[in-house]
């Protein structure tokens, strides 16, 4: 049984009538994933969206030569895979598990039924899509105005959150995909931060020593 509170806490379902969310939860299903499991591939037909219950899911695009750009990192409470619900097209990116994860699959038809019953609920969709557009605008601005060290500093701060000590939840290759640069250039930027005394690194564990300087470099 899918926890109604999990769906109600997401940006898509937050604030919606409990009985409407409960009806969606009743037909939803929990899926467990191992690291590297692919939830869906770019171009796949779609009939459901997903909510992360545990773990992390990478949303990525790949170039024709195999290079990858991680466009989003989905964590517990995040919704992904909703775009085809509104445009009827295939998946715009690949989604795969970065670690052992649990997700909830929600059928599009059940979500559509909820919106058909009360179209005013679509304002939640507008808010969700506006958030996606803002994130896209920010990523585009970063690619134009920030160099590789700047983008690397910004991603490290995002992954660290409020704490100074953290374990990198992705591989160096995946971090490079998030930054939008080669692994070698990202590693070079991290090594520079370590030499400057802004960051300490031990394998995949990091400690931010000078958050102020790292923050300045990310702007």
Burial of 130 (0-12, 13-18, 19+ CB in 10 A): exposed
What does the alpha-carbon distance between residue 152 and residue 156 come to, in Å, rounded to a whole number? 6
Confidence of residue 204 (pLDDT cuts 50, 70, 90): confident
Q: With a cut of 80, say whether residue 67 has pLDDT above it.
A: no
Who has greater pLDDT, 83 or 169? 83
What does the alpha-carbon distance between residue 45 and residue 87 come to, in Å, rounded to a whole number? 12
* Per-residue model confidence as pLDDT tens digits over 29-48: 999 999 999 999 999 999 99
Mean pLDDT for 106-111 is 95
Mean pLDDT for 202-215 is 91
What confidence score (pLDDT) does residue 44 get?
95
What confidence score (pLDDT) does residue 136 get?
83
What average pLDDT is seen over the chain?
90
What confidence score (pLDDT) does residue 2 get?
85
What confidence score (pLDDT) does residue 3 get?
87
Q: With a cut of 80, say whether residue 65 has pLDDT above it.
A: no
Mean pLDDT for 162-178 is 84
Q: Which of 59-73, 102-116, 127-141 has the lowest mean pLDDT?
A: 59-73
Confidence of residue 76 (pLDDT cuts 50, 70, 90): very high
Confidence of residue 185 (pLDDT cuts 50, 70, 90): very high
Q: Quote the percentage of the chain above a pLDDT of 90.
A: 59
Mean pLDDT for 57-78 is 85
Mean pLDDT for 184-196 is 94
The structure tokens 């195999």 sit at: 66
Yes or no: say if 104 and 30 are a contact pair by the CB < 8 Å rule. Answer: yes
Q: With a cut of 90, say whether residue 197 has pLDDT above it.
A: yes
């Amino acid at each position: 049984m899918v926890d109604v509170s999990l769906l109600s806490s997401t940006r898509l379902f937050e604030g919606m009538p409990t009985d409407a969310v409960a009806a969606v939860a009743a037909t939803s299903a929990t899926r467990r994933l191992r690291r590297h499991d692919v939830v869906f591939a770019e171009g796949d037909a779609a009939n459901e969206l997903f909510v992360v219950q545990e773990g992390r899911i990478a949303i990525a695009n790949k170039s024709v030569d195999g290079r990858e750009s991680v466009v989003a990192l989905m964590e517990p409470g995040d919704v992904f895979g909703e775009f085809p619900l509104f445009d009827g097209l295939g998946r715009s990116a690949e989604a795969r598990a970065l670690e052992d994860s649990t997700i909830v699959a929600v059928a599009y038809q059940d979500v559509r039924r909820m919106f058909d019953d009360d179209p005013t609920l679509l304002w939640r969709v507008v808010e969700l899509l506006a958030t996606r557009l803002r994130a896209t605008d920010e990523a585009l601005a970063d690619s134009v105005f920030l160099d590789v060290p700047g983008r690397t500093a910004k991603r490290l701060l995002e992954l660290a959150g409020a704490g100074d000590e953290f374990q990198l939840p992705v591989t160096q290759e995946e971090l490079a995909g998030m930054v939008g640069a080669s692994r070698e250039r990202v590693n070079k930027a991290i090594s520079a931060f370590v030499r400057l005394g802004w960051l300490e690194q031990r394998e995949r564990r990091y400690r931010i020593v000078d958050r102020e300087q790292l923050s300045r470099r990310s702007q």
